[in-house]
Amino acid sequence: MQDGTFPSPDYPEVTAPRRDAGRGDAYARDCPTRALLDRVGDKWSVLILLLLGEGAMRFNGLKRRIGGVSQKMLSQTLRALERDGLLAREVLPTTPVSVTYRITPLGRELLAALRLMIDWAETRMGAVVAAQAAYDAACGRAP
Amino acid sequence: MQDGTFPSPDYPEVTAPRRDAGRGDAYARDCPTRALLDRVGDKWSVLILLLLGEGAMRFNGLKRRIGGVSQKMLSQTLRALERDGLLAREVLPTTPVSVTYRITPLGRELLAALRLMIDWAETRMGAVVAAQAAYDAACGRAP
DNA sequence: TCCTTGTGGTTTCCAATAGTGACCTGGTTA
DNA sequence: TAACCAGGTCACTATTGGAAACCACAAGGA
């Protein structure tokens, strides 16, 4: 990595093991928020969690419901979410084989925490789009 | 939308323009949650919003506080957030030039919505890491 | 006058990864 | 024979992100 490329080291660099500040709004690499966003900030994870929040589903059912996901990304994301303990994979030894995915209590917790963000997105993304348009009109192209 | 299981494959494809189901948990490409995650799900946006939630800061101040961010990513992310109307850039014609970044009311709204997710991450990422370890121990390598 | 430091970035180059489509297995049902 | 299920593999492209160079300006020192 980059070792000591900071000219003024008299600052409390947040890369240090840990600051003592209470529950510490950690802005550094060891921040759990960073870890969560690395897992969940991809294109499909939240969508899958949201869908499984409604009820258990099978692989091709998910594939049909989610527009534009490839098999590779779906199976990859499902495996990652299963590894994280956010959803459970149940293999039923039926006729060929039935695989059911259902959300776990931990996943449901996360989904509840995400719901506020999702609600904000659904009500306020219009304001964001308006801000983008205003920005583009002001300094984006017009003088 | 609480019909539980989906046995029949004759389900409405969500890639279609729009479903009429109320506020519609949209799983498709036009979902505002997708748009929000595309903006905010990157490595630095949430961290910057979180930091600016404490108070206005300057470019190099942010750079020092956030461990491991490059100038390119910082300026790029700041510009994107400014374009989204989530933070404001103020240029003060002082000695060389002072640029201050501060969060906007819209950004503060989003930050409040994200806080629940951040809190979840800080309290429950341990459970996720434990689940990962259990998964790796079970089927990851051991037979 | 030149040299260095510092601020607030932009740009170029490059490696790593995320993501896609197409095609493959292998079994079952009709 | 064809289609469905549950994926896996390959080849390819697009995006992300880092390092470092560059730019314009100003202050301070020799």
3-state secondary structure chain A: CCCCCCCCCCCCCCCCCCCCCCCCCCCCCCCHHHHHHHHHCCCCHHHHHHHHCCCCEEHHHHHHHCCCCCHHHHHHHHHHHHHCCCEEEEEECCCCCEEEEEECHHHHHHHHHHHHHHHHHHHHHHHHHHHHHHHHHHHHCCC
The pLDDT score that the predictor gives to residue A97 is 86
- Which of A30-34, A135-139, B19-23, B54-58 shows the lowest mean pLDDT across its residues? B19-23
Task: Name the band, by pLDDT with cuts 50, 70 and 90, for residue A5.
Answer: very low
- Give the amino acid at A107: G
In sequence order, the β-bridge partners of residue A87 are A103
Q: Where are the domains of chain B?
A: 24-138
pTM above 0.85, yes or no: no
What's the CA gap between B71 and A99, in Å, rounded?
A: 46
Per-residue pLDDT tens over the stretch A41-56? 888 999 899 999 999 9
Of B31, B114, B125, the CB nearest to A35: B125
A79 has a chain B CB within 8 A of its CB: no
Percent of chain A topping pLDDT 70: 76
**Average model confidence (pLDDT) across chain A:** 77
Q: A82 is written with which tokens? A: 């299963």
Question: What value does the mean pLDDT take over residues A96-121?
Answer: 92
CATH number for domain A24-138, candidates 1.10.10.10, 3.90.870.30, 1.10.287.3610, 1.10.1740.10:
1.10.10.10
> Which position has the token pair 């059912």?
A61
Residue B77 CA: distances (Å) to CA of A86, A117, B93: 29, 20, 23
Strand C: positions under 7 A of a protein C-beta atom: 5-12, 18-23, 26-29
Do residues B99 and B89 make contact, with C-beta atoms less than 8 angstroms apart? yes
pLDDT above 50 (res A12): no
Provide, in whole angstroms, the distance separating residue A95's CA from nucleotide D15's C1'.
42
Closest CA to B101 of B53, B133, B138: B53
Question: Exposure pattern of A116-134 as b/e (b: 16+ CB <10 Å)?
Answer: ebbebbbebbebbeebbee
pLDDT above 60 (res A2): no
Contacts for A8-12 with beta carbons within 8 Å, 24 or more apart? Answer: A8/B64, A11/B64, A11/B65
Strand D: positions under 7 A of a protein C-beta atom: 4-11, 16-21, 24-27
The pLDDT score that the predictor gives to residue B42 is 87
The pLDDT score that the predictor gives to residue B29 is 57
Q: B43 is written with which tokens? A: 């490595």
B79 has a chain A CB within 8 A of its CB: no
Sheet harboring B87-92: ordered strands across? B57-58, B98-103, B87-92
Provide, in whole angstroms, the distance separating residue B124's CA from nucleotide D11's C1'.
39
Average pLDDT of adjacent 10-residue blocks, chain B of 143 residues:
31 32 45 82 89 92 86 93 93 80 95 91 91 82 43
Lookup: nucleotide whose C1' is closest to B69 CA? D18
Lookup: nucleotide whose C1' is closest to A44 CA? C19
A39 has a chain B CB within 8 A of its CB: yes
> Which position has the token pair 């209590």?
A105
Provide, in whole angstroms, the distance separating residue B72's CA from nucleotide C14's C1'.
14
- Which of A21-35, A78-92, A117-131, B1-15 shows the lowest mean pLDDT across its residues? B1-15
Cα angle: A120, vertex B50, A46; to 5 degrees: 45
The pLDDT score that the predictor gives to residue B22 is 30
Question: What value does the mean pLDDT take over residues A22-27?
Answer: 40
SS3 B14: coil
